[in-house]
Every structure is written in structure tokens, then in C-alpha cells.
Amino acid sequence: MSEPLATLLTEQTNPASAGIDQLSTAEMLRVMNDEDRKVAESVTPQLSQIALAVEGIVDAMRNGGRLFYIGAGTSGRLGVLDASECPPTFNVKTDLVQGIIAGGEAALSRATETTEDDPAMGMRDLLARGFCAKDVLCGIAASGRTPYVLGAIDEANQMGALTLGISCTPDSELSRRARIGITPVPGPEVVAGSTRLKAGTVTKLVLNMLTTGTFIRLGYVWGNLMVNVQPKNVKLLDRAKRIIGTATGASYEEAGRMLAAADNSVRTAITNWQKVKQEDTQRHG
């Protein structure tokens, strides 16, 4: 039996923002800023769980698995956002990390809240993407009780897949059903129940850790440099040259020539430089 909504921490009123509608604009924003300071701190107690999740995703991907996010409303949009950023950042295939949102693509720009109440729909949407036992499913629900998400988690569990659950309510149903529960608790929202605020922010922080941590472990980052960036526009081309310069000590102009010679692959340009340096060392060593 799901916990009644009125008892959930994400639905409680926040004493710090009582009367916020009567404050000046500057005072109102200060209250919001003070509350936002609590967000990052709420992730700290969950780092061990997040680490377990990253290691699980890494193992799955090394064995041909993929990562799927599923959620409704803000939670779903955040999952789709994180998934969509992986190909341009790490140059991975577009289907390696996928986001599923209740209501489909239309729900990305227009709210379709009624779809989140159907657990069978969550299961069907998951299966429609070809989800299988070697994949990882991460359910996202600030309340930890969204039927759409729980239905998908139950289906993935039955397959024997690794399931993760991100929620912002202590001992949530999602955290109990998922094999690895991640439960940062940033507290009641400035506007009661508006989980696009602190809950949304803390969810984004966790998603950042999951995919960035995974691709660092898989070798997609050199030092702290984005060596798999795809230089497909002026900004990214500039970034690619600066990355090569930082890694090799080359001038900006020389980095550009190295990048062109490597067919616009930053990683290849750095690797080619390392090979030449090693050969020079062997000849003169």
C-alpha cells in the first residue's frame, strides 16, 4: 500500500518559506538560495549507494547492457535530459543511455500527469524500448511512489535486471523495490509540493554522477578532459583544440593541425602524440 501523499516529506510545507509571498523580491530569492544550499549536502549520505550504482552500470555496459531512465513529469524530463547529453559529451551511441517519460515525447514540453498513474503503461513503455535482463533501469520519482515508475521497476526486477531507484522521501516504496535505492532528502520545497525545485535539483546532481562516473570508469575521460567530445560546431571545435593543447602542450594552432590529421578525433590526436613522444624517447633514450 502506497504511503498517503499528505504524509510524504516532499508534500510538507516548509517553515523557512512561510509568508514568502509577502517578502520583497530580494528576500524571497534569499530564502530560495538558502534552501538550495541544502541540496548538495543531501547527496553526501548517498555517495556509497551512488557508487554501487555506478559500478553496476559499468559492469552492465561492459557486458553489452544499456542504461535506461524512467520517470513522469519533471523526473522523466530530467532522465531524458541526462540521456540526451551523453552522445555529444562522450561520443557514445544514442541508444546506450535512454530516457523514457510517461506520455512520450509530447510530455517533454507539455504536462501529461494522468499517464503517471498507470503501472502497466510503465511496463509497456519499457518493453517497447527492447529492455532486457542485461540492461539497467533507473526509476526516478521524487515521491518514490509513482505507479508508472514502479510498474517498470517491477518488470525489470522480474527479468533479473539491475534496478536503481532515485527518490527524495525516506524509506520510499521505490527505494524498497529497487535493488539499489538512492534517497537524497533535501527537505520540503519552498513552494509546498513543487518538486521541480530542490527535488529536481538533487535528482540532476545524482544523474550527473551516474553517467559521468560511469563513463570515467569506462575510459571516456583522460585526466579530467573531455577527450571524446565531438567538435561539430565552432564552440566544440575550439574546446577540442584547447583539450589537445592541455594534454600535449601544443600551441592552439598546432593542436588544430593535430586534430585535422586525426580526422577530428581528440582522443586519436592525443594518442598519436603519445606514440610519437614514445618513439622519440626510445630513439634517444
Please say if 55 is a catalytic residue: no
At residue 129, what are phi and psi to the nearest 5 degrees? -85, 0
Q: Cβ(119)–Cβ(94) under 8 Å? A: no
Q: Cell digits for 250?
A: 601544443
Helix, coil or strand: residue 237: helix
Which letter, b or e, does each residue of 201-236 get, where b requires 16 or more Cβ atoms within 10 Å of its Cβ?
bbbebbbebbbbbbbebeebbbeebbbbbbbeeeeb
Of 35, 116, 173, 189, the catalytic one is 116
Of 3, 11, 55, 85, the catalytic one is 85
Please say if 155 is a catalytic residue: no
Bridge partners (DSSP) listed for residue 139? 70, 165
Report the distance separating Cα 82 and Cα 59, nearest Å: 20
Report the distance separating Cα 36 and Cα 94, nearest Å: 32
- The catalytic site residues sit at 85, 116
